[in-house]
Amino acid sequence: MKPTDIRDPNYFHKVVDCQWACPAHTPVPEYIRLIAAGRYSDAYLINWKSNVFPGILGRTCDRPCEPACRRGRVEKEPVAICRLKRVAADYKDDITARLPKPVEKKNGKRIVCVGGGPASLAVARDLAPLGYDITVLDQDPQAGGMMRTQIPKFRLPDSVIDEECGYILDLGVAFAGGKRVDSLKALLAENWDAIFVGCGAPRGRDLDIPGRKEAAKNIHIGIDWLSSVSFGHTTKIGKRVIVLGGGNTAMDCCRSSLRLGGEDVQVVVRSGFEEMKASPWEKEDAMHEGIPIHNYLVPKEFTHENGKLTGVVFEHVKAEKDAKGRRKLVPSGEPDRHFPCDDVLVAVGQENSFPWIERDIGIDFDEWGMPKVDERTFRSTHPKVFFGGDAAFGPKNIIWAVAHGHEAAVSIDKLLNGEDIGHRPLPAVEVVSQKMGIHEWSYDNDIAGDKRYRVPLRDKVVALKDIRAEVELGYDDALAFKEAQRCLNCDVQTVFESKLCIECDACVDICPMDCITFTPNGEEAELRTRLTAPAHNLAQDLYVVNELKTGRVMVKDEDVCLHCGLCAERCPTGAWDMQKTLIEMTQAGTACRSRA
Amino acid sequence: MTYIVKPRFHHPALPKNALGYTHRDYEGSVSTLCAGCGHDSISAAIIQACFELNIEPHRVAKLSGIGCSSKTPTYFLGQSHGFNSVHGRMPSVMTGANLANRELIYLGVSGDGDTASIGLGQFAHLIRRGVNMTYIVENNGVYGLTKGQFSATADRGSKSKRGAINADSSIDLVAMALQLGATFVGRSFSGDKKQLVPLIMAAIEHKGAAFLDVISPCVAFNNHPGSTKSFDHVREHNEAVNRLDFISGRSPIAVDYEPGAVEIVEQHDGSKIALRKLDGDYDVHDRRGATNFLLERAAAGEIVTGLLYVEPDGEELHDNLKTVKKPLNTLGERELCPGSGALDKFNASLR
């Protein structure tokens, strides 16, 4: 194998699994250490810079970081990264003085964002402090988009949305609420310097089966129903409710129903329980509230009597692999099953919908009716029009929308400075040794053996009575400290200098995870088979350093390294050092522009 | 030393031995020796050897004297019996323990000071009596605990860290063990576990007095140019006479060896040592030849390593003393007080 080039910013970035997995690349271990130190405001600001909505995401993020967390490979469960983020938001001091101030003298460039959700707000947050004149348009009276309309208040209270959207609008961003954009052509005619489309995927998919029309009064589209609940237009639902669909929207629907008078609320999914799109913790939360989830049932017909819904008929299916090995649902032969109910909520997916974009203004669409958007620059085929969030590549989640917003903001900033937007900036990387003394490091390297701590919940009886009562109470500071201590500090890298090594084997012997091997070099696939412990996880790199005196190479399997620093503590010559890599994505501003 | 406890987490795919233990289960508490000490590598080799031999930790008695090396039994086999004796007096405790309970696996760990200086007399008698045990000397050529004075195994002419030249002749413990009748003699290097681990395994399975001299550089006081016990010096002058694979007990030899290049030595318990000869003429069964070879190569400044001598069917102390087959603590009243009839018979035999 070739020696590893640790100067490549991506090498160490990949070792920080959580940060690498985060679409916005939030420096997770850095803020978790600050939480452990009780520096909640500092932890919050690190988050705010990179993911814009720490308080919102700390409650609702889809947390791609957690399945990636190294702790999950070392023991059973990852660090509760998401809920620690909430801790920073909950316990911070007033940080308004530390946020950028509105720019008094604008630079004269006008940008409009269509839609007031996370993608648009991220663009506004990044660009407003640079002097751009930003206007955000939304059909709803308040900013927040789907964060406000589709996430039930018992998961995300309005106060958190108000606060974090407020930080952005207070940067001097103009918000025009209650203004629905009907024509992009008209908007283009207003001579904006750039247009950002962050209007989401606003249409809920319907279910066209017999009885749909006849029983329409009691069949609701999930996301529309949720936003109606959120605005207080809907306050009641029937006693028996069937929720169709297995995504996070379905989970929000069933839990909301339970709070609006539903007594017998059940979720029915087409496929298997395991294949459901909902995050495992959202399924858990629903089941914790006593909601049963039935699987392998395909809705066949809505039954009705005198124009009133009476139930849903389902066909039993089972999963089979076809000749090509693809999974298919086929009838199992069991008799159909009838679920009587008073209301049905259809949460079987979301779609994009762009009836307001004319097809003759230079924006190309693909065969699925999605705009053609560059995956790196987020620019459409129109030079001034950018897309981000669900509007760009279909329904994802908040953290992706934020990440899109940052990238689009970089593109817009470069465009309006006359630069090539295809030339993307590298992240900023800071590498600093953590050595403080002989066996002293500036991070806590004593690995905590604790299992993941549960987030305290509000009493179920109380929680189910009030749809606005937040279910999760969040960690208190003592629990937050203990959970934070579970973090393995993966950003504190093991850095090896072969010139200093005397090949005494001390690091090999002490390493609790048997990560380190000194061996003759070989091809990667073969080398992986003869390490101290087998290196089966191909997604994790081998760190290879050559030029040892004996001609061997040092191979470290990054997979389950605890970053405990014992290799460096037991190294007599300082050949191993623990160095913190702080990796920050470059956002819009002078740093993102070329240094010509 | 390291202040934190070694984390309990281990690699999820760590192999387990026949007893269901991983090698981590054979560890002791975290080492308090200097970072990079060769002794820690030897501890790791002992851990690996016991893991591979599927040894139940409670069947091992580890004994030591005084010194850096004699501290190490704390750092391996945390579930075994241990005895940290008076300086240089481990051999007599070992002999006594072995006589009292012949069923345990005895492992003596000592240093060049504990064995070649204060304990030389005890060491000699332990070996010549053929006590069934493994005796490992962690040999660094200096007194590390008292800041690096030459020990009795430091080579004449070698240089101390402060520049002094050693004027005294050195004691070659391997030559002594050969002369005193050890039935298993080897030398190895802490920086070469591929050689060391199978040597320790074979020594543990050997019946009789097994002696291993393991050169173990002292990173604090004896790892500089001019030292003959430094990592660099030993790597440059290491002359291995053979490489061995240890094949435990009844398992068939699965590895294909080129005929002629390998000698299979079968020990009394059925375990086998596959010796790949590196020096064509070297004979591991020739005590006098081994002694000559050793002296000749030492004169040339080379350090001979590998399995140097083995007598697979050696005798041990219990055979010679015709002692009872069972550990003394398992003997009942009937065996210990056989009655006046037996006494009369015994007295009669002396008349």
Contact with chain A for residue B199, Cβ under 8 A = no
The CATH number of A9-97+447-484 is which of 1.10.1060.10, 3.30.450.20, 1.10.10.10, 3.40.50.300? 1.10.1060.10
Instruction: Provide the CA B269 distance to its chain's centre, in angstroms.
Output: 18
Domain A100-202+352-415 shares a fold with domain A204-349:
yes
Which of B3, B9, B220 is facing A75, going by the closest CB pair? B9
Residue B27 to residue A275: CA distance in whole angstroms: 43
* ipTM metric: 0.91
Interface probe for B, chosen from A77, A438, A505, A558 (most Cβ of B below 10 Å), is A505
CATH class of A100-202+352-415: alpha beta
Residues of A with CB under 8 A from a CB of B: 73-75, 439, 445-447, 449, 502-506, 508-510, 512-515, 533-534, 536, 549-550, 560, 562, 564, 566, 569-573
**What sign results for the dihedral spanned by CA atoms B329, B330, B332, B338?**
negative
> Is residue A74 a contact partner of residue A447, using CB atoms and an 8 Å limit?
no
**Residue B311 confidence (pLDDT) above 90:** yes
Q: Say what the pTM is.
A: 0.91
* Residues in B touching A439 (Cβ below 8 Å): 1-3
- CATH superfamily of this structure's domain B23-321: Thiamin diphosphate (ThDP)-binding fold, Pyr/PP domains (3.40.50.970)
> Is residue B110 a contact partner of residue B136, using CB atoms and an 8 Å limit?
yes
Which pLDDT score, from 0 to 100, does residue B279 have?
Answer: 76
How large is the average pLDDT for residues B84-95? 97
**Residue B249 confidence (pLDDT) above 80:** no
Interface probe for A, chosen from B1, B2, B16, B218 (most Cβ of A below 10 Å), is B2
**pLDDT per residue over B143-153, tens digit each?**
999 999 999 99
Q: Which helix (H) or strand (E) holds A27?
A: none
Helix/strand/coil (H, E, C) string of A69-110? CCHHHHCCCCCCHHHHHHHHHHHCCCCHHHCCCCCCCCCCCE
* Residues in A touching B13 (Cβ below 8 Å): 533-534, 536
- Contacts of residue B195, Cβ cutoff 8 Å, sequence gap at least 6: B188, B189, B240, B243, B244, B305, B306
* Nearest residue in B to A568, CA atom: B35
Give the residue ranges of DSSP H helices in chain B: 38-52, 68-71, 90-100, 112, 120-128, 173-180, 193-205, 231-237, 287-299, 317-321, 333-336, 340-350
> What's the pLDDT band for B268 if we cut at 50, 70, 90?
confident
Burial readout A250-274 (b: 16 or more C-beta within 10 A, e: otherwise): bbbbbbbbbbbebebbbbbbbbeee
> Is residue A313 a contact partner of residue A189, using CB atoms and an 8 Å limit?
no
Which pLDDT score, from 0 to 100, does residue B223 have?
Answer: 95
* Residues in B touching A505 (Cβ below 8 Å): 40-41, 44, 190-191, 193
Contact with chain A for residue B35, Cβ under 8 A = yes
Domain ranges for chain B: 23-321
Is A534's CB within 8 Å of B13's CB? yes
Is B36's CB within 8 Å of A573's CB? yes
Which pLDDT score, from 0 to 100, does residue B47 have?
Answer: 97
Residue B45 to residue A170: CA distance in whole angstroms: 65
Task: Return the beta strands (E) in A110-211 as ranges.
Answer: 110-114, 133-137, 174-176, 194-197, 203-204
Is B40's CB within 8 Å of A560's CB? no
**Residue B84 confidence (pLDDT) above 60:** yes
Question: Lowest-pLDDT range, A23-32, A565-574, B119-128, B269-278?
Answer: B269-278
Instruction: Provide the CA A539 distance to its chain's centre, in angstroms.
Output: 20
Is B12's CB within 8 Å of A505's CB? no
Interface probe for B, chosen from A77, A500, A503, A509 (most Cβ of B below 10 Å), is A509
List beta partners, residue A576. A496
Interface probe for A, chosen from B4, B24, B76, B231 (most Cβ of A below 10 Å), is B4
* Residues in A touching B6 (Cβ below 8 Å): 510, 512, 566
* Residues in B touching A74 (Cβ below 8 Å): 9, 12
CB atoms within 10 A of CB A364: 11
Which of B3, B9, B43 is facing A512, going by the closest CB pair? B9
> What's the pLDDT band for A303 if we cut at 50, 70, 90?
very high
CB atoms within 10 A of CB A365: 14
Is B193's CB within 8 Å of A505's CB? yes
DSSP for B176-238, written as a single string: HHHHHT-SEEEEEETT-HHHHHHHHHHHHH-SSEEEEEEE---TTTS-STT-SSSHHHHHHHE
Burial of A497 (0-12, 13-18, 19+ CB in 10 A): middle
Angle at which helix A222-230 crosses helix A248-259, to 10 degrees, equals: 50
Contact with chain A for residue B194, Cβ under 8 A = no
Which of B2, B10, B41 is facing A504, going by the closest CB pair? B41
Q: Give how far B37 is from chain A: nearest CA, Å.
A: 7
Which pLDDT score, from 0 to 100, does residue B250 have?
Answer: 58
**pLDDT per residue over B122-132, tens digit each?**
999 999 999 99
> Is residue B41 a contact partner of residue B190, using CB atoms and an 8 Å limit?
yes
* Nearest residue in A to B42, CA atom: A509
Which pLDDT score, from 0 to 100, does residue A451 have?
Answer: 96
> What's the pLDDT band for B278 if we cut at 50, 70, 90?
confident
* Nearest residue in B to A444, CA atom: B4
**Residue A477 confidence (pLDDT) above 90:** yes
Which pLDDT score, from 0 to 100, does residue B70 have?
Answer: 97
Helix/strand/coil (H, E, C) string of A529-596? HHCCCCCCCCCCCEEEECCCCCCCEEEEECCCCCCCCHHHHHCCCCCEEEEEEEEECCCCCHHHCCCC
Is A74's CB within 8 Å of B12's CB? yes
> Is residue A371 a contact partner of residue A365, using CB atoms and an 8 Å limit?
yes
Q: Give how far A276 is from chain B: nearest CA, Å.
A: 28
* Residues in A touching B31 (Cβ below 8 Å): 510, 570
What tokens were used for B87? Answer: 């300086």
Residue A246 to residue A225: CA distance in whole angstroms: 16
Q: Shortest CA distance to A419 belongs to which of A302, A182, A592, A214?
A: A592
> What's the pLDDT band for B258 if we cut at 50, 70, 90?
low
**Residue B255 confidence (pLDDT) above 70:** no
**pLDDT per residue over A214-232, tens digit each?**
999 999 999 999 999 999 9
Is B13's CB within 8 Å of A533's CB? yes
Which pLDDT score, from 0 to 100, does residue A327 have?
Answer: 86
Which pLDDT score, from 0 to 100, does residue B269 have?
Answer: 79
Is A513's CB within 8 Å of B11's CB? yes
Q: Give how far A566 is from chain B: nearest CA, Å.
A: 8
Q: Shortest CA distance to A501 belongs to which of A572, A440, A451?
A: A572
**Residue A336 confidence (pLDDT) above 60:** yes
> What's the pLDDT band for B270 if we cut at 50, 70, 90?
confident
> Is residue A198 a contact partner of residue A114, using CB atoms and an 8 Å limit?
yes
How large is the average pLDDT for residues A250-271? 96
* Residues in A touching B220 (Cβ below 8 Å): 572
**pLDDT per residue over A231-260, tens digit each?**
999 999 999 999 999 999 999 999 999 999
* Nearest residue in A to B230, CA atom: A502
**pLDDT per residue over A424-460, tens digit each?**
999 999 999 999 988 899 999 999 999 999 999 999 9
* Residues in A touching B38 (Cβ below 8 Å): 504
> Is residue A592 a contact partner of residue A586, using CB atoms and an 8 Å limit?
yes
Contact with chain A for residue B257, Cβ under 8 A = no
Instruction: Provide the CA A149 distance to its chain's centre, in angstroms.
Output: 18
Which pLDDT score, from 0 to 100, does residue A245 have?
Answer: 95
Amino acid at A20: W
Is A506's CB within 8 Å of B232's CB? no
CATH class of A204-349: alpha beta
> Is residue A86 a contact partner of residue A474, using CB atoms and an 8 Å limit?
yes
Q: Which residue has the higher pLDDT, A95 or B255?
A: A95
Instruction: Provide the CA B292 distance to its chain's centre, in angstroms.
Output: 22
**Residue B1 confidence (pLDDT) above 70:** no
Phi, psi of A215 (to 5 degrees): -105, 20
Q: Which helix (H) or strand (E) holds B101?
A: none
Domain ranges for chain A: 9-97+447-484, 100-202+352-415, 204-349, 492-584
CB atoms within 10 A of CB A384: 18
**Residue A292 confidence (pLDDT) above 60:** yes
> Is residue B186 a contact partner of residue B307, using CB atoms and an 8 Å limit?
yes
> Is residue A65 a contact partner of residue A18, using CB atoms and an 8 Å limit?
yes
**Residue B254 confidence (pLDDT) above 60:** no
Residue B137 to residue B118: CA distance in whole angstroms: 14
CATH 3.30.70.20 for the A492-584 domain, yes or no: yes
Which pLDDT score, from 0 to 100, does residue B253 have?
Answer: 57
